[in-house]
Amino acid sequence: MMKKHWGICSRPMALACLLLLAGTRCCYSQRMNDVQSELLVNSINHLSEAIREISAELKPLKEISAKLEPLKVFLPCKSGWFKLKSTCYFISEELATWDQSLQNCTDMGADFVKVSLHEQFLFLQELAKGHDVWIGLRDYEGKNAYKWAKDSTVHVRTALWWEEREPNSSEERCAHFKRDTNKWNDMMCHQTYRYFCEKPLGTA
């Protein structure tokens, strides 16, 4: 084959033939790249079009879902949970340490309770009446810097929610509703009390 090939080109034309062959390979390779690029661009265009069509179909569903969202407040909480606006709250009958309480809430698919608004405080205060009840608030480093277990946000002391002169000890790092005053006190975390958990309405 090689012999025949060289015969076609003849010796004076050998260099020209080599250049021609190299050029042909080069052009073929370039052409393949162009074809592959074209196929890729076409595929991307088809995919983009498909995404646009799916998005257009989902839009009405999203709009319906958004309109139904405010109606969630009319859903009940399941038995044993107490509703305030869009949250369901649970108060245990069993006693547990603060750490066990956190774990028990998590095991129920719930959060250890976090209090942000005064109406939440009043609601929980009513539920806690006559009992010591843990809340999900802890001074993790013993520096009187309380954080919520739910989202690690810092709690700024709210005078109305705490007993006077509380929290008062770096040894007492966990917060609870105290049964006699019905306000918050810091206590040793290994004490066993009832505990509060919370879940968004519609999940409890």
Would you count residue 186 as binding Ca ion (CB under 5 A)? Answer: yes
Smallest gap from residue 171 Cβ to Ca ion (A): 9
Amino acid at 153: T
132 binds Ca ion (CB under 5 A): no
Is the CB of 151 or the CB of 164 nearer to Ca ion?
164
Nearer residue to Ca ion within complex by CB, 87 or 185: 185
87 contacts Ca ion (rule: CB under 5 A): no
CB of 169: closest distance to Ca ion in angstroms?
5
Residue closest to Ca ion, measured at CB = 186
139 is a contact residue toward Ca ion (CB under 5 A): no
Q: What are the CA-CA distances from residue 55 to residues 12, 58, 59, 150 (Å)?
A: 66, 5, 6, 34
Verify binding: residue 185, Ca ion, rule CB under 5 A.
Answer: yes
Q: Which is nearer to Ca ion, 39 or 188 (CB)?
A: 188
Site for Ca ion in 147-176 (CB under 5 A): 166, 168, 172
Nearer to Ca ion, 121 or 162 (CB): 162
Shortest distance in whole angstroms from residue 75 CB to Ca ion: 38
Q: Backbone phi, then psi, for 49, in 5-degree steps? A: -65, -40
Establish if 181 lies at the interface with Ca ion (CB under 5 A). Answer: no
Contact between 198 and Ca ion (CB under 5 A)?
no
Q: Interface residues with Ca ion (CB under 5 A)?
A: 166, 168, 172, 185-186
